[in-house]
Chain A
Amino acid sequence: MNYLRQVAAIVWKDVVAELRTKDIFSAMFVFALLSVLIFQFAFDLRVENVKQVAPGVLWVAISFAGVLGLNRSFALEKDKGSMEGLLLAPVDRSAIYFGKMLGNVLFMLAMEALVIPVFIILFNLPLYLPGVLLVVLLGTLGFAGVGTLFSAMAVNTRAREVLLPILLFPILVPVLISAVKLTGGFLDNIPLSENINWLQLLVVFDVVFIAIAFMTFDYVVEE
């Protein structure tokens, strides 16, 4: 119970700090919005091809914007020296990981909650489907689960802004492919039974990589 309270305290701290500064959310939201707009103009999408590219556009926008947020997540702690305050507390390191990871999930979901309506208007697609929303949730969880771990790794390097996407995207390939396939499937009304393998892959990825991060975070944050 104490463990959960500590995780909740870290989430609370990140949310309150973010509500005051909007450091992470504003960067993610503006980037995602611009990405969606640029893709819309660049592809000059027509009704006949919009369903084919829209899932890819959505997940590129979410993942690129998400990287911006992940970069800031630990960078703000590191640059302001507050990371050591966290590490000095008698807290299991995995509680720090889960606290930061859940904070990142919340910020990404908030960004997605604003970008998806814009996406619906521009692409004229019914994204508010339970299946699509489930995929967005699972994809975001996988993205933030791995991303939080890699963000903690990259924050101690000089080229952290460049290093994080280079490290992260190859690992995230299964999440991105599954999410795009599933989103496209739900938009095309393909029965879930035909895409169940992608859903299983997404769920297994989330579970496995969050478990790996749970076990390795201690080593990542140690000097």
Chain B
Amino acid sequence: MLEIRSLVKSFGRKAVLRGVDLTVAPGETVVMFGPNGAGKTTLMRIISTLSKPTAGKVRVGGIEISYAPDAVRQQLGFVTHAPLLYDSLTAEENLRFFGRLYRLNDLDARIDALLRQVGLAARRHDPVRTYSRGMVQRLSIARALLHDPPMLLLDEPDTGLDQHAAAMLHRVVAEVAGVRQNGEGEGKRASVLLTTHNLERGLAWADRLVILAGGRVAFEARRGDLTEESLRETYDRIVGERG
């Protein structure tokens, strides 16, 4: 679903990504860890077409992002710690607006279903500015899932949330993104690439784990090959070595 080859991104003379290679298979959940400044957000922004790579290739669903960015955007849902919503609009108005941008049919039914899934149906007519941080993030997930994308990018979606809200957020993502509709009524898992600083939560959720450090993928393992303790030791060693 996602294929990244020799990806380099520099800001002036400063290289943030120095040759990242990463794949996410269809239906797979890959969790990426890394210290601040490792390039996680830069990588997510490049995949989402918000930023252009200096060198290297990124393909989403087999489409090279620089050749057909609109087609790539149609396949992606992106959640960041910033909600990317309009706080003077209601939840329903926000979703209706983005639904029109994504040229969705049967928008009313889709909005109803998503607001129920993220637990905001009762507050659908309230302006987003009256929501708690956790509610805003759940609506942000609904926005990202509105067009039923086969690939979800979640960039530290739990930043600023308390334990309870973060747990609820992850449950919502697991429920909503875990099974996407393929248009014929049958379920199909979305691919997920998620970044977080929370090792425990990331381990619980991942099929595969990646540590990004020094602008490269410094470690990669399947979840079954790691315990929380061994992951923490590996993470501390890699981050310590890189300074």
Q: Which residues of A contact B (CB under 8 A)?
A: 2, 5-6, 8-10, 12-13, 16-17, 20-21, 80-82, 84-92, 222-223
In the complex, what residues of B have CB within 8 A of residue A17's CB?
A: 86, 88-89
8 pairs across A/B with beta carbons < 8 Å? A9-B97, A9-B100, A13-B86, A16-B88, A17-B86, A87-B50, A88-B48, A90-B70
Smallest beta-carbon distance A22→chain B, Å:
10
Is B83 in the interface zone, CB < 8 Å from A?
A: yes
| Contact between chains at A80 and B50 (CB < 8 Å) | no
Is B98 in the interface zone, CB < 8 Å from A?
A: yes
Smallest beta-carbon distance A58→chain B, Å:
31
In the complex, what residues of A have CB within 8 A of residue B101's CB?
A: 6, 9-10, 86, 89-91
User: What is the bound-complex CA distance between A88 and B151, given in angstroms?
Assistant: 13
Smallest beta-carbon distance B149→chain A, Å:
10
Nearest 9 interchain pairs by C-beta:
A85-B84, A9-B100, A81-B82, A89-B101, A90-B73, A90-B70, A20-B88, A90-B74, A17-B88
A6-B101, A82-B85, A84-B50 given; 16 more Cβ-contact pairs under 8 Å: A5-B103, A13-B93, A13-B97, A16-B89, A17-B88, A20-B89, A81-B84, A84-B80, A87-B50, A88-B48, A88-B73, A88-B76, A88-B78, A89-B102, A92-B70, A223-B50
Smallest beta-carbon distance A10→chain B, Å:
8
| Contact between chains at B70 and A223 (CB < 8 Å) | no
A-B contact count (CB 8 A): 71
Is B64 in the interface zone, CB < 8 Å from A?
A: no
Q: How many residues of chain B are within 8 Å of chain A by beta carbon?
A: 30
User: What is the bound-complex CA distance between A223 and B89, given in angstroms?
Assistant: 27
Q: Using known A-B contacts A6-B101, A90-B102, determine if residue A13 contacts B89 with beta carbons closer than 8 Å.
A: yes
| Contact between chains at A21 and B50 (CB < 8 Å) | no
- Which chain B residues numbered 10 to 37 have a C-beta less than 8 Å away from chain A? none
| Contact between chains at A85 and B98 (CB < 8 Å) | yes
In the complex, what residues of B have CB within 8 A of residue A89's CB?
A: 73, 98, 101-102
Smallest beta-carbon distance A36→chain B, Å:
29
User: What is the bound-complex CA distance between A222 and B52, given in angstroms?
Assistant: 8
Smallest beta-carbon distance B196→chain A, Å:
19
Interface-central residue, B48, B51, B80, B88, by most chain A CB under 10 Å: B88
| Contact between chains at B84 and A20 (CB < 8 Å) | no
Is B138 in the interface zone, CB < 8 Å from A?
A: no
